[in-house]
Chain A
Amino acid sequence: MSKLLLIVTIAGERVALPAEAVESVVELDTLIHVPRAAPHIAGLSALRSRVLTVIDCMRSLDLGVTDCSDEIREAAVVELDGHVYALIVDLVEDVVEALSEPQPVRAAMGPGWERVSLGMVETEQGPMLLVDVAALVAGVEAKAA
């Protein structure tokens, strides 16, 4: 039984998130800013009665800032250590089946991607980078600390 993957686009790159980690995909509208929090914390939002901590994935990868001001953003909801996070992505595409176990990527990746990589998986749509959700949530500062 192979694992399911959620294909999303972050910073123009198509990557895979482990589907079992993703609770749901939501559209965020309101976003409450958290002053003085780490830069990749885009703010807080509410999903029904739960408070979501919204993570700006681009910022977390140190690849730029997602513009959250104008439109409704798509986000993948994940739960980690009892806290619920929403990962802002450019686009949520599809759910596909993983055809292989993650393999180490031997080519040199961009600095942001290296930190969150769990390896490369084969899919029907070609090889995909499998992203570590916890590393995305921790953000780029966690590595420095």
Chain B
Amino acid sequence: MTLFKPFGALLVLSGAVLPVVGEAADDAAALRAELQALNSDYTARLATLEARITQLESGASSAATLSVANAAVPSATSGPGPGSPAARSSAAAFNPAISLIFAGNYANVSEDPESWQIAGFIPSGSEVGPGERSFNLGESELAIGASVDPYFSANLIAAITGEDEIEVEEAYFRTLALPRGFTAKGGRFFSSFGYLNEVHAHAWDFVDQPLAYQAFFGNQLAQDGVQLKWLAPTDLYIELGAETGNGQAFPGTRLGRNGMNGATAFAHFGGDVGDSTSWRAGASWLDQRAEERTYEDVDDLGAPVLNAFTGKSRTWVIDATLKWAPSGNVARQQLKVQGEYMRREETGDLTFDVEGLALSDAYRSEQSGWYLQSVYQFRPRWRVGLRYDALDSGSPEIGLVGSGALPPEAFPALVPADPDRVTLMLDWNPSEFSRLRAQYAWDDARDAQDRDRQFMLQYLFGIGAHGAHKF
């Protein structure tokens, strides 16, 4: 049948061209005659082709044991069917899978979002917190991916922000043909430590990340680097992996030298308990260096200063996730419980007012945070969620304060605190491609006296290629 298409297209084309050419009245008659000749020629050729196809079809149906009406056309040679994309023959057939996520929210918060901070923690400098008041366009997430060749695949996930910027969230290649369970990845990518770090914003179960991720990694850690993973050939899921890179993301910084900054190692385990329950658990270790990692604060007189940390930053993360659905049928009902605990030690030097006094002395902190959340799909398309977040800043040892060079009030951001937050969520998912969400949070990130009551409405829509998500 595809043979007919070029002829049909030619006929349509000549039909479209005709009015333009027809303006030259002299040529019109000649053209018409020519077209008629062409037309009758093609009619004759079409008739011949049709006759040949009928002949072939009758031959095939008499030879086949199954009737044509029975849809099944056995082809042991596994040639693509007429409906399959492989049958198309154009450059577009090799287009990668493209999908686009639309996100936005309406925020009603009781405290000024400008004053939002996580008490007791050095700010990451990333855009964390409840965001701005009223209506906000979120990140439009563009994902493009395909196999490169039999050996590699490549993916780009770019975020077009509401502030008219384009951010490359991830752009990486991945191997397809390494033997023995190894997979290598290179480029920019979300690190595979923990559970939530790899999950893109549109797949979060709440509008925002847990406080622990906001405080420890400025939402999510992505750096330019390489990753090697190995999956054990066992029925129990055992995945071991390591990463290294330029360290550009908080809590690391780029170093003024060649080579890599730090290393990440992670191990994930998982399996099933019966037909209804699945679990995954893991432990991760991040070892990074920071050089002149600056953050904004105010001094004891209330004037803005820029301070900086230089030293080692080491973080432990433990994660566990459990999902339950009756008979594994997630279309109807599902319960998901997940939690992560992280602990960080930073040792090095803290410089006060790098652009002015530039006083420097030793610094050491040991901080921790965790969250526990549960999302329950109580009926198809409806989910309700509850999350508790808590952080413990510990009491950092600040050399400049210990020596008496500066008063403790010179470092308001480092005053010991234990922020926490409770979040309630309800979402409605009309289809696999849309989600509307309402969320209410009692946020004590600043401190318990300044409780921020945050109400948010959010939409998430996906168009284009059907996504596939990890567990």
Whether A and B are associated in the same complex: the answer reads no
Binding site for B on A (CB under 8 A): none
